[in-house]
């Protein structure tokens, strides 16, 4: 949890700097690139989290992998390396994207399901989000087989948990109490 708070702080600082320099959209593209690349590469993720790999190696690898990124993003990487927080890079990128969308008045609805969403289900989820919040939203689907079935919908600070794992957990608590 402390890592998430730190990631939000870094993301807010980067967003503020990027907004001041009118480069928020360019930095957003960098953050999406970082987010997608780290998500698709186990080796990159392992390198970021490794306590054995030195900071200078991590920095040079990141700058080589993400050539041509905006100086604001390079500054973020430098800061994370200097503070030995490179493991936060994917979280910072994700939080930056969310904060920028919120600043633009858009919202992202995160839907965690056991299987990928179909187009029909995505349409239903979008309608439900609009009904609940009164705003349009973009959908980010996370597949997590551990929820067994159903879904977990998170919009901003509000979470609706309709997963089977959650329902089984509630049943278990009811049986152990009585």
Q: What is the mean pLDDT of residues 7-16?
A: 92
Residue with tokens 């390198």: 47
The DSSP 8-state label assigned to residue 149 in this structure reads S
Cβ–Cβ under 8 Å, residues 38 and 90? yes
Measure the CA angle with vertex 79, ends 73 and 80; round to 5°. Answer: 90
Residues facing 160 on adjacent strands: 153
Q: What is the mean pLDDT of residues 23-29?
A: 91
pLDDT of residue 12: 93
pLDDT band at residue 173 using 50, 70 and 90 as cut-offs: confident
Q: To the nearest whole percent, how much of the chain has pLDDT over 90?
A: 35
pLDDT of residue 2: 58
pLDDT of residue 107: 79
pLDDT of residue 89: 92
Secondary structure of residue 116 in the 3-state scheme: coil
Closest CA to 55 of 30, 72, 75, 80: 80
CA–CA dist 59, 134 (Å, integer) = 43
Based on the number of CB atoms within 10 Å of its own CB, is 126 exposed (0-12), middle (13-18) or buried (19 or more)?
A: middle
- pLDDT tens digits for range 30-47: 999 998 898 888 999 999
75 has a pLDDT exceeding 70? yes
Give 76 or 140, the one with higher predicted confidence. 76
Secondary structure of residue 134 in the 3-state scheme: coil
pLDDT of residue 78: 93
Q: Domains of the chain (ranges plus CATH)?
A: 2-103 (1.10.520.20), 108-177 (no CATH)
- pLDDT tens digits for range 118-168: 888 888 888 888 887 777 788 888 888 888 888 888 887 777 887 888 888
| Paired tokens of 53 | 């790999």
Measure the CA angle with vertex 122, ends 118 and 128; round to 5°. Answer: 145
Per-chain mean pLDDT for the chain: 86
1 has a pLDDT exceeding 60? no
DSSP assignment of 35-96 equals HHHHHH-HHHHHHHH-SSS-HHHHHHHHHHHTTT--HHHHHHHHHHHHTT-GGGHHHHHHHH
pLDDT of residue 74: 92
Kind plus residue range of the DSSP H or E element containing 1 = none
pLDDT band at residue 178 using 50, 70 and 90 as cut-offs: low
pLDDT of residue 77: 92
């Amino acid at each position: 949890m402390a890592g998430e708070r730190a990631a939000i702080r870094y993301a807010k600082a980067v967003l503020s700097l990027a907004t001041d320099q009118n480069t928020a959209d360019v930095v957003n593209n960098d953050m999406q690139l970082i987010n997608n690349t780290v998500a698709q590469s186990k080796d990159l993720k392992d390198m970021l989290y490794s306590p054995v790999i030195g900071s200078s190696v991590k920095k040079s690898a990141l700058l080589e992998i993400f050539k041509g990124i905006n100086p604001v993003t390079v500054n973020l990487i430098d800061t994370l390396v200097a503070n030995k927080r490179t493991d936060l890079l994917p979280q910072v990128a994700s939080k930056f994207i969310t904060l920028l969308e919120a600043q633009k008045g858009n919202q992202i609805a995160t839907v965690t399901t056991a299987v990928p969403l179909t187009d029909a289900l995505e349409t239903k989820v979008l309608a439900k989000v609009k009904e609940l919040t009164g705003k349009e939203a973009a959908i980010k689907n996370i597949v997590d087989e551990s929820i067994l079935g159903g879904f977990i919908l998170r919009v901003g600070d509000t979470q609706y948990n309709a997963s089977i794992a959650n329902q089984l957990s509630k049943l278990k608590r009811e049986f152990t109490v009585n």
